[in-house]
Amino acid sequence: MKRIPGALVTVLLVAWAIVQVYPILFMFITSVKSDKQILNAPFALPDPLLLDNYAIVWAGDRVAQPFSTFFINSFMITLGSLAILLFVAGLAGYSLARGRFPGNAATQQGFLLTLAVPVHVLIIPMYFFMGDLGLRNSHIGMMLVYATLGLPFTIILMRAYFLSFPHELEESAMLDGCSRFGAFIRVVVPVSRGAIASMAIINISWIWSELLFALVLLDQPQVRTLPLAVAGYRPVSMAAESVVGQQFAIMTLTALPLFVFYFFFQQQIRKGMTAGALR
């Protein structure tokens, strides 16, 4: 009887793993099948295994740009957004946690209130604002947009982490001659790698897969990101064609970088989620 709860937990975990893994396997298996195989036997294994869908997607005939262009655009925007976001959120969170200045509490409340505002209501004003700045169809513009959207939540979590950060480490560094900023860069940041990793993990997924703002602000093919490329792989209206295999192929290629990231950095991710800003 004592083993029943443990066995039940194991069964539930295995069932949950199957539920999570099966859609990924289905996506990959479908991407190497012909459209005829997909429509006639959607759950069968590929016979034979075809890579033509990947070749067509990589050439980018349907969206007028090779896949590598969209990949480079997404990589640059994601990396730049994370760099801006983590740098600003780290400084702001540290300032709110350590600083005693007029407006500290009001600033914190302001960040909390911004979380209650749906980001979709910002689409129209953001469109005209970025146009006035000349930042539409710009990688830098998208970096600033994504960093701005992620700042309130990230700052709140970084502040919560720095509140539990031991003051003694900073005081020792300042006694040795460091300024407050020097102590932050040389002591606080290296010790806070777990929290920074947590913030990077939380933000990298939604930035990589964000569609709405990219769709509105990027209308030139050469600057578009991977989610826009995925949306572009659709049948022509009123035409008797099927591109199901190509759609699954480009979804697989789009998701593959995140799979690789989580595979190679799973240990750091696990440490970051357990010892980072969410503790």
Residue 257 covered by a domain? yes
User: 239: domain CATH number?
Assistant: 1.10.3720.10
pTM of the model: 0.84
Q: How far apart are CA 277 and CA 198, in angstroms?
A: 7
Say what the pLDDT of residue 279 is.
Answer: 42
Residue 35 covered by a domain? no
Residue 30 covered by a domain? no
Residue 36 covered by a domain? no
Rounded to 5 degrees, what are φ and ψ at 103? 95, 5
Task: Find out whether 250 and 74 touch, Cβ atoms under 8 Å.
Answer: no
How many folded domains does the chain comprise?
Answer: 1
Task: Find out whether 220 and 211 touch, Cβ atoms under 8 Å.
Answer: no
DSSP 45: P
Say what the pLDDT of residue 268 is.
Answer: 62
Say what the pLDDT of residue 79 is.
Answer: 95
Say what the pLDDT of residue 239 is.
Answer: 54
pLDDT averaged per 10 residues, the chain (length 279): 67 88 90 86 83 85 80 94 93 87 81 84 91 92 94 90 84 82 86 84 90 91 89 66 82 89 72 49
Domain containing residue 123:
65-275
Contacts of 76 (CB under 8 A, 6+ apart): 139
Residue 137 covered by a domain? yes
- Both tokens of 130, joined, read 């970025």
Say what the pLDDT of residue 8 is.
Answer: 80
Say what the pLDDT of residue 74 is.
Answer: 94
Angle (nearest 5°) at CA 269 between 266 and 271: 110
Residue 118 covered by a domain? yes
Residue 23 covered by a domain? no
Residue 253 covered by a domain? yes
Q: How far apart are CA 231 and CA 76, in angstroms?
A: 20
Q: How far apart are CA 212 and CA 124, in angstroms?
A: 12
Q: How far apart are CA 221 and CA 69, in angstroms?
A: 9
